[in-house]
Structure 1
Amino acid sequence: MTAKRLWLLDVLRGAALLNMLAYHALYDWVYVFGHVSSWYDIGAAGCHVWQQYICWSFILVSGYSFTLARRPWKNGLLVAGCAVVLTVVTVGFMPSESIWFGVLHLNAAAVLLSWALRPLLEKCPAGLGLAVSALLFVLTNQVPQGYLGFETLRLCALPKAWYSPNWFWLGLPDLTKFYSADYFPLIPWLFLFWCGLFLARLWQPRAGLAPRVLRPLALVGRHTLLVYMLHQPVLYGALWLGHALS
């Protein structure tokens, strides 16, 4: 089975996951345990680029991997169950870090929606689908913040009435009362997921064993869901111990 895997996808997924572990460890150390950092600031440009690399690569690879799954609906339901557990645990034990619609919620919803829409998505030419999905992702990148545009480029503001129902899962949160420590709504992130889906029809890396030096990353990349579910309690426990001893 390992010889048949697309090892480059495993490596990219593993690299994104390890970057996420490092990012979350620093976030907890600075913002949960209150330690001062001379460079780690989630509002700084460098940290923002780092965070965006992590989520972009992870979501793109997830969309690509959707096309390789034999039972995507089963994968989607499994991830949805994990997302519910994550919400219950964070709301119950870390209310200040509650996660209502994070990357796991997005992944589950994107997989199940793409599975339901698969006949329509397969009818769309891959090149056109990739171009349209990329354009929609750029245009709707800041919809959760109330306007069309990408990052700091604001094209136009959206009606405030669209946000009053607080459809946070869609990307229309009422920011006066909604907060999620990890927030990845369907708009714009579903379009990035579909970029990966259409890319899979245009390009496929070679299957086989990863180069020896990259095999640890590939191993991590093959078990992302397990590592993701375990990383925060393990990190939190280790950092709590370090905080208590410091």
Structure 2
Amino acid sequence: MPDPGHEAVPAPGAWTSGPPTPRFDRLDALRGLAMVWMTAFHFCFDLSYFKVILEDFYRDPFWTWQRSAIVSLFLLCAGMGQAVALSQGQTAYRFWRRWGQIMGCALLVSIGSWWMFPRSYISFGVLHGMAVMLILVRFGFARLPALALWALGAVAIALPFVVADPFFDTRTTNWVGLVTRKPLTEDYVPVLPWLGPMLWGVALMRIEAVRSWFTRPLASMFKPLSVMGRWSLSYYMVHQPVLIGALMVARYLGWL
């Protein structure tokens, strides 16, 4: 793996797109699996929103634990993806282009959620958190050895449970994660504890056996998941409008 310490001082050509790099189809498929799970979860959430089913997505462990698992899987994949990108010498241009797409979509999510849920709009959801965490990993934590990443990941996960302060309970500070109470919002993915799964993803992809497994050919039956995983951001942005629109049409037609 190239020394990530060189990332802060781009080499000649680092601000160009660079040649295409090989895809890890199995990693894309794992991300695609997370997207299928997320879609099923959001469809049930939307059914509850339209009062077709009666479920408590905010307090019922059956739903809250699923949400945690889905977010963890996404961030684990993001960490593994960063490890792959760094090992392949991803240019600064390609990193910042992707980061800009994520941040732009995060702003759109905030605007859209404010329109639907003005009291509980998303000010720091999964895309906002991912944008911040990618910078921390790319230009900081990726320089550390794998053992330190495992340890810091565990600390990141544990810290919010042992350290909390009312200072972090406002919308301008709760992005850190050291809150004394969960904010009123439709999605909340602060840096702590969610940086933990991303750090573990980076460390996991440094294990030769794991990396070797992800480079193996993907069975044809899983190819659709791989395609979904390659377009994860686009899919994430359109899946809820499509689901909600379909349910609105179904209600208008009297099917709900």
Q: Does 1:80 align with 2:138?
A: no
Q: 2:25 aligns with which of 7, 13, 31?
A: 7
Q: Which one-letter code corresponds to 2:72 in the other structure?
A: W
Map of 1:1-246 to 2, 5 A cutoff?
A: 4-30=22-48, 32-37=49-54, 40-42=55-57, 43-69=59-85, 70=90, 71-96=94-119, 98-117=121-140, 121-122=142-143, 124-130=144-150, 132-140=151-159, 143=160, 147-148=161-162, 158-161=164-167, 163=169, 167-173=173-179, 175=181, 178-202=183-207, 203-204=210-211, 205-207=213-215, 209-244=217-252, 245=254, 246=256
Q: Output the CA distance in 2 between the equivalents of 1:88 and 1:98.
A: 8
Separation of aligned partners in 1, 2:42 and 2:26: 24
Distance (Å, rounded) in 2 between the aligned partners of 1:185 and 1:233: 24
Q: Deviations over 1:11-47 (max 9, x none)?
A: 11001011111101111111x212234xx54233332
Check whether the contact 2:164–2:178 (CA below 8 A) recurs between aligned residues: no
Q: What corresponds to 1:154 in structure 2?
A: none
- 1:183–1:56 Cα change, 3 Å: same
- Please report the RMSD computed on the Cα atoms of aligned residues, expressed in angstroms: 2.6
- The 1:237–1:127 alpha-carbon spacing in structure 2 relative to 1, beyond 3 Å, is same
Q: Percent of aligned positions with the same letter in both sequences? A: 27
Give 1:159 deviation, angstroms.
4.0
Structure 1, gaps ≥5 residues long = 149-156
Contact 1:76 1:107 in 2 (8 A): no
For the residues of structure 2 that align with 1:33 and 1:164, how far apart are their CA atoms? 30
TM-score, scaled to structure 1: 0.81
**Alpha-carbon deviation of 1:5?**
2.1
What are the ranges of 5 or more consecutive residues in structure 2 without an aligned counterpart? 1-18
TM-score in terms of structure 2 length: 0.78
**Number of residue pairs matched by the alignment:** 225
Q: Give 3-state SS (helix, strand or coil) of 1:95's partner.
A: coil
Contact 1:73 1:115 in 2 (8 A): no
Q: Which digits, 9 at most, give the CA deviation of each residue in 1:155-209, with x for residues without a partner?
A: xx63435546851111144759x42201000111112211111222123034254
Q: Distance between the aligned counterparts of 2:170 and 2:215, measured in 1?
A: 48
